[in-house]
Structure 1
Amino acid sequence: MIGCAECLGRRPSTAPLRDVIKNLTVRPTSFDFVTPSQICLFIPSFGDGGVGRTFVHLANGFSAHGVATSLVVNQANIVFANRLDPSVERVVFHGRNDLALEQELQKYLSTNRPSVVMTGQGRDDVIALKVKKKLRDSGIKFFLRVGTSLGARTERKHRFWWSRWLFQYRQRRLFSQSDGIIANSHDAAADLSAFLDVPLERIRVLPNPTVAPDLPDLAHRPVDHPWLQPGGPPVVMGMGRLGRAKDFPTLLRAFARLRRERVCRLMILGEGRQAEKLKNLAVELGIQNDFDLPGFVDNPYAFLAKASLFVLSSLWEGCPNVLIEALAVGTPAVATDCPSGPREILAGGHYGRIVPPGDAEALAEAMAATLDNPPPAEFLREAVRTYTIENSSRAYLEFFGLSHA
């Protein structure tokens, strides 16, 4: 099993994949023998994050609904290959640059003529829409999927106004060429509408395909971490790439406040550039003996299910899968009211407390209140039934006009 790499912030070790990959059929670069598909998911930037996992889940869902689907990747980027259903056509492009990938995609689409092409990464969007222009009136529809609050992210990542303006200008031109735009939350859609200056009606909100059928089984598997054995103090869990967006320093400060009032522990699963910074902050706050940073784990769902509380401390998101997963395994959650997704997932606070981003005091109070009065597990699972692979893939097919298949 490959862990939630979006949550854990690194590419899993490739060693466990070798045996899997040997058993997968690598399709030829000549496309004459590839089975034509109705949906082509084009993601050569397929990596170890949430987009890669989302596209694999969607491919499996489309195929389960009887719609022929191909997943187009680069040979080197196959982190979630062992999660791909054998009925999905895995097509490997070998281009080493954007131009080569563009040429391969044009040849593939000219030969196979799918009904739909969908992309989910900025680089892939550009390549696909260049091919769309070259194919002219091909009858193929090109959809762009956005998995983050693009406007909020741009504000934080581009320091200078001219850099933000240039990026915004390019994105407006790019998205205007698509046949449809997909967002994974209503807040992300509103953000995108304002950022692109396009009518909100042109953006379709579709749920993330987060909850896989095997999630309950994975969640119930044992873990060997001593903190997660029965009878121990409550464990507060965080997950994610150890970078700025997740704002784990605020979580550590909130936990330090909580630790003054009760015996508890904090564990964050993930890897990234801020690992040493977080360890040093734990020492500074005097919580180093109750803080653990295990890094990457193969099955994060089992860890998450055994925690007493999950905390999402992010500054920005799109529609955080890990928050959905926490509720799906019955773990109570507290989240920041960041753009975007947490407020929608938690139904405005109905399924979990929401606090302002960056507010350690408010976060600590919400954590304490939730630990004192945790909601029932089945109540939490009800919150995320929309986010199953089956429901999500059906919604996508309806939007594509392929639900009759």
Structure 2
Amino acid sequence: MSGVRHLALLMRSLNGGGIERMTLNLARAFTERGYRVDLVVARPRGPLAGQVPEEVRLIRLSPSSRLEALRALGAARASRVAWPLLLGPCPLMLRRLPALVRYLRRARPDALLAAGTQSNLAALWARSAAGIATRIVISERNTMSRVVRGAGRGFRRRYPSLAACSYPQADAVVAVSGGVADDLAATAGLPRAGIRVIHNPVLSAARIACGVSPRPEGDRPPLVLSAGRLHRQKDFPTLLRAFARVRTARSARLIILGDGPLRRSLRSLAARLGVADDLTLPGFVDEPMAWMTAASVFVLSSAWEGFGNVLCEALACGCPVVSTDCPSGPGEILDGGAYGTLVPVGDDVAMAGAILATLDARLDRGRLRRRATAFSVDAAAERYLDALLQPRAHTRGPTPSSVGA
């Protein structure tokens, strides 16, 4: 398999989330190693649209009708569990399934890496419908049981049964943390031994090597920084309540980077807590690490994660970290608390205490930066290439040799 040269990467959009950033990092790393790379995207719009490397071919998947999607599902021999999905609001990737089938038949990449549950399922179904031999590597990027818990009756509610039926057809199954792998095995009933753990490709060699200036001492209050989509997963209300407790003890500022549906409610909560004047919400930023360099402490308040890329970025900047010990990822990144303080999910009292203790401590920022080297793009890219190019030991289920147009 050493002659494999054409790789495809599949994801939903070019929004500014962790999946999109990590996929772009891999695309860049693969082209640097001489591979021809297609970035296959359902919605190629968003804040990261301008960051697609010139060497990468961007493929847009056009939406199809429900009837076309149903035909593609039938050709893919997809589990009947998937068919009712076409009766309600149609999932983004399902409407792009016929276009993905056409892409695979035309381009015939040697291997395809899918990012996220919807993309994973679409990739496996599309290969079956296309009747081709492209290797499919799927990557689970979030804690499935937590995603399903708040999913209502929609597509996400069916993730465990769909994964149980479809994921065994993959040539390799990857999880971004040991916790995500354990959860996927338990939630979808998959053998844990068949799931590889590859930590996210967060930091390029250039970013790891760049010098970080210490936060200048001065009259400005210390900066408490956080970042992420303004969504219930990130549990910023707990951070705001913790910050309000911090403000009763000392002066401080809070900046939360990112956009999302909870912006207005977070501002309202800050006003009720009396910290509205100390809160800044700049929205999406291209370079969060520039803000981390200036921060006194970085706080991740999530109820759940797949990994926690922002923690790696903060460590690379030598920025002290406080994080919830949520499933999954932060405990692995911080080595059980050796490189930052872990607090219980939803506990604003413990979070406030940890923030205050961190602000008062004198920490070895160089030690934090050295920890960040474990999460380099180069290390992850090599492990993903191994998964993409190495034949698996067992044989997947049959795929149709021909499919009607």
Partner of residue 125 from structure 2, selected from 93, 112, 130: 130
Closer/same/farther in 2, CA of residues 168 and 368 from structure 1, 3 Å limit: same
* C-alpha contact (below 8 Å) 2:136/2:388 kept by paired residues: no
> 1:131 and 1:235 mapped to 2: Cα distance?
48
Between stretches 173-182 and 98-107, larger displacement belongs to 98-107
Between stretches 67-76 and 274-283, larger displacement belongs to 67-76
* C-alpha contact (below 8 Å) 1:218/1:301 kept by paired residues: no
Q: Runs (4+) of structure 1 moved beyond 6 Å?
A: 162-165, 216-221
2:135 corresponds to which letter in structure 1?
Answer: K
Closer/same/farther in 2, CA of residues 297 and 67 from structure 1, 3 Å limit: closer
Question: 1:242 corresponds to which residue?
Answer: 230
1:253-310: CA deviations, max 9, x gaps? 1112122222212121222222222222222222223222232334322112101000
Question: 1:382 corresponds to which residue?
Answer: 370
SS at match of 1:383: helix
SS at match of 1:208: coil
Shift of 1:178: 1.9
Aligned residue pairs total 361
Question: 1:204 corresponds to which residue?
Answer: 196
2:140 corresponds to which letter in structure 1?
Answer: V
Question: 2:88 corresponds to which residue?
Answer: none
Q: What aligned pairs does 1:6-405 form with structure 2 within 5 A after superposition? A: 37-74=5-42, 76-77=44-45, 79-96=47-64, 99=69, 101-136=96-131, 138-158=132-152, 166-215=158-207, 230-401=218-389
* C-alpha contact (below 8 Å) 1:228/1:303 kept by paired residues: no
Shift of 1:139: 2.9
Closer/same/farther in 2, CA of residues 46 and 131 from structure 1, 3 Å limit: same
Q: CA RMSD in A?
A: 2.9
Question: 2:81 corresponds to which residue?
Answer: none
* C-alpha contact (below 8 Å) 1:257/1:361 kept by paired residues: yes
* C-alpha contact (below 8 Å) 2:257/2:281 kept by paired residues: yes
Shift of 1:218: 9.1
Percent of aligned pairs sharing the same letter:
35
SS at match of 1:130: helix
Between stretches 97-106 and 58-67, larger displacement belongs to 97-106
Between stretches 86-95 and 338-347, larger displacement belongs to 86-95
1:207-227: CA deviations, max 9, x gaps? 111113454699969xxxxx9
Closer/same/farther in 2, CA of residues 210 and 230 from structure 1, 3 Å limit: farther
> 1:62 and 1:86 mapped to 2: Cα distance?
13
Shift of 1:369: 1.3
> 2:139 and 2:327 mapped to 1: Cα distance?
17
SS at match of 2:339: coil
TM-score by length of 1: 0.81
> 2:17 and 2:361 mapped to 1: Cα distance?
33
* C-alpha contact (below 8 Å) 1:219/1:302 kept by paired residues: no
> 2:250 and 2:364 mapped to 1: Cα distance?
22
TM-score by length of 2: 0.81
1:38-78: CA deviations, max 9, x gaps? 31112254433221221111111112222322212247436
Closer/same/farther in 2, CA of residues 276 and 374 from structure 1, 3 Å limit: farther
SS at match of 2:150: helix
1:249 corresponds to which letter in structure 2?
Answer: P
* C-alpha contact (below 8 Å) 2:14/2:48 kept by paired residues: no
* C-alpha contact (below 8 Å) 1:332/1:374 kept by paired residues: no
